[in-house]
Each structure stands twice: as C-alpha cells, then as structure tokens.
Amino acid sequence: MIRGLYTAAAGMVAQQRKHDTVTQNIANLNTNGYKQVESLVRSFPEMQLSRSGDSSLGSKVIGSLNTGVFAEESMSMNVQGDLIPSDKITDFALYSDLRVTNPNTGEAIPFDASGKYISDNGDVIYKPQAYFTVQDKEGNVKYTRDGSFQVDAEGRLLSSTGDEVLSDNGEPIRLTGAMNQFKVNEQGQLVNPLTGALTGERLGITIVDDPYQLVREGNGNYVLSSDRAGSARLLGAEDRVQVKQGFLERSTVDSAQSMVDLTAALRAYEANQKVIQFYDKSLDKAVNEIGRV
C-alpha cells in the first residue's frame, strides 16, 4: 500500500513539472525565436519481484513491477518558426533548411516534425540549425534565433539583450553612415546601399550540427559547453540558410495544443491526488478502526 503512495506522488510531481513547462511555453508565445519546450516523462526502472519462503512451491520469480514515472528532462523543439514582416531594417530572421545526406544511400535524411531521424540501426541524427552569434560584456559567445537587433550611439549592432552581434570573423559589427541605408543580403553579407557592392563583412551565423546539445541560458540565448564546441561551425556557401532583413521569427509554440496539454496535465495531477486520498483513508481505517478491535 505504501508503494502505491510513492507511485501516485511521483506522478503528481511529474505532472506538475509538465504543467510548469507548458506554462513557460504559453508565457513565451510572443517571444521572437522562442522554441517550444517539451517535458519528457519516463518510467522508473522496473524491479524484478521474487517470492520468498517455501521452495517447494516452484519458481520464485513473480514478475516485474513498475514504480511510477518522473519528468526526466525538458527539450527544446528545434524546428523552423514562421517569419513575419516587421519593416524594421535592424530586424533579422533566419530561414534554415539544412540537409544531411545519408552516407549509405546518398539521399537526404527525412527528419520528422521535431527535427530527428532514427536509422534502422537505432542511431539518432538531429537536423542542424542556424543561429546568430552574439557576445556578452564578459566576452562569452552565445547563440540566438532572436533577430530583433538595435544600434547604439557608437554604431554597434546589439541584440535585444544588449549583447554585441558578431561578424563571421568573430569581431563585433559596427555600422557607419546613415542607418536608413543599412542593408544585408540573404547570405548575411553587408551591402553598400549606394553601389550595391559587398563590404566584405557578414553577420556571424553559426551552424550547430546537434542543436539539442545547446544549453538554454535565458533571454533567448543558448551556449555550448567547451567539450561540445566542435559541433558548431560557421555558415558555408552550400548551407541552405537565408537571412531575411525586415523580418522576425515567431515562436514555435502551438497555443491550441498547449491548452490541451495544460488541461491533460491538470487532470492527471488530480487523478493521482485522488489515489493518495484513497490510500490515506485506507490507512486511517486500518490504524484507527481495525487496530482498535
């Protein structure tokens, strides 16, 4: 009976965390470049039950027992968001359709809606994603999909959180001339608006081969640990990534599905709560009524 209490309590904790995750998604419904987060719920390892006592009764193995579930981790769904026009020249959005070729067949790998592919051998491959590269005041490099940039009095191109936007050579971008003449082509290269010639400078766009290795830092920024730095590289000429000036990427949060998930988590939480109340009444009866007899 006590085991049932622990199982129901574990279910309540898991549903509470799922509820918090969905609430976070809803709160960021209008956050530029935000990627919806999914809370992964998994079961605890199964236990093998064996009967103790008289060996003459046969096999001692009874079977396996599962002791409930837990919210193991929260994962961002790194998929392309819709692009919306903002008509602001310092706003940028990335349209990323990067492809990975199957080395055995030479064909493009068909990723699912979450950007994941599982081969026949069980190997998991994730779809690479592109990110703007920024740098904070301490010199730490970060990645973001929020292209709502601004220009300060010194001509520095800054992110919405005040971080410096880096070029492809790792240096902060500084603009000169009239701001209404600031122009970037679809390859992220800065263009001279008067002559149409390339200035030789390009927005620093980083390709992360496994975006699930990124650590969410907050304010739309991600970081890579030092041991994962090898999975990041600069945008190449063959990469299918476009920079859209005057656009912003919407969040990937599905508001309708979020409300369904929110309600489902609440109902599951209440169901586990009812189970605990049932066990509590049973224990009360066993202690205060049966124990008195």
State pTM to two decimals: 0.82
- Give me the helices (H) in the chain, please: 2-27, 255-285
Q: What is the mean pLDDT of residues 168-182?
A: 79
168, pLDDT greater than 70: yes
CA distance 275 to 12: 10
- Give the residue, 230 or 153, on which the prediction is more confident: 153
Segment 95-119, tens digit of pLDDT: 998 888 887 777 888 888 778 888 8
Provide the token pair at 73: 């981790």
Spatial contact of 132 and 203, defined as CB atoms under 8 Å apart: yes
Percent of the chain surpassing pLDDT 70: 92
Question: What is the number of H-type helices and E-type strands within the chain?
Answer: 2, 21
290, pLDDT greater than 80: no
Identify residue 274 by its one-letter amino acid code.
K
CA distance 293 to 283: 15
Segment 221-255, tens digit of pLDDT: 999 887 776 678 888 888 899 999 999 999 999 99
Residue extents of the structural domains in the chain: 2-77+253-290, 83-249
